């Protein structure tokens, strides 16, 4: 049991270090077709559970939205679109959670101007990347990408 806890703790530390090293990049690590994708997502959930600041949680949700976007790009490149809708929905969910956390900070009277500017910057980048992907997907996937563009645009407007 102790070995499992140590391995789990090391994985969490590695995930945190890796995540902070790639904070501003849009990179996809694992995609849903990987056997370890569930573990990757579980580590994200644990990291969120161990984060208590609303600002830090908002930043993590924004980072995870970036990761979902990178995963969308990767599966489109590989032409493996069976996970597209789930990834687009999760990207939207992460952006909504970002907004909720910023609303909580605002309700506490904290200055969140810098965070809102970052959200606007990131969601604008999402819109740009998703728009460029529209030409690369089959007709059946265009609606999902268009929905993601609308959600990113709404998030940018709210910020």
| Tens digits of residue pLDDT in 77-105 | 888 889 998 999 999 999 999 999 999 99
Q: Extract the tokens encoding 101.
A: 């956390």
* Residue 62 pLDDT exceeds 90: yes
* Residue 54 pLDDT exceeds 50: yes
Cα separations (Å) of 117 from 44, 93, 107, 125?
24, 19, 18, 12
pTM above 0.85, yes or no: no
- On the 0-12 / 13-18 / 19+ scale of CB atoms within 10 A, 98 is buried
| More confidently predicted of 2 and 116 | 116
Q: What is the pLDDT of residues 100-122, one digit of tens each?
A: 999 999 999 999 999 999 999 99
* Residue pair 133/76 in contact by the 8 Å Cβ criterion: yes
* Residue 147 pLDDT exceeds 60: yes
């Amino acid at each position: 049991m102790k070995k499992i806890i140590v391995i789990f703790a090391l994985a969490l530390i590695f995930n945190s270090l890796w995540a902070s090293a790639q904070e501003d990049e849009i990179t996809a690590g694992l995609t849903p077709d990987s056997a370890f994708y569930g573990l990757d997502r579980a580590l994200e959930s644990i990291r969120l559970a161990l984060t208590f600041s609303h600002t830090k949680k908002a930043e993590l949700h924004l980072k995870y939205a970036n990761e979902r976007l990178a995963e969308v790009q990767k599966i489109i490149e590989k032409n493996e679109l069976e996970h597209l809708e789930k990834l687009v929905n999760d990207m939207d969910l992460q952006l909504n959670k970002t907004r909720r956390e910023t609303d909580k900070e605002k309700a506490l009277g904290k200055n969140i101007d810098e965070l809102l500017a970052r959200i606007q910057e990131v969601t604008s980048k999402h819109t740009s990347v998703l728009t460029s992907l529209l030409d690369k997907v089959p007709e059946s996937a265009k609606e999902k990408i268009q929905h993601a563009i609308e959600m990113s645009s709404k998030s940018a407007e709210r910020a």
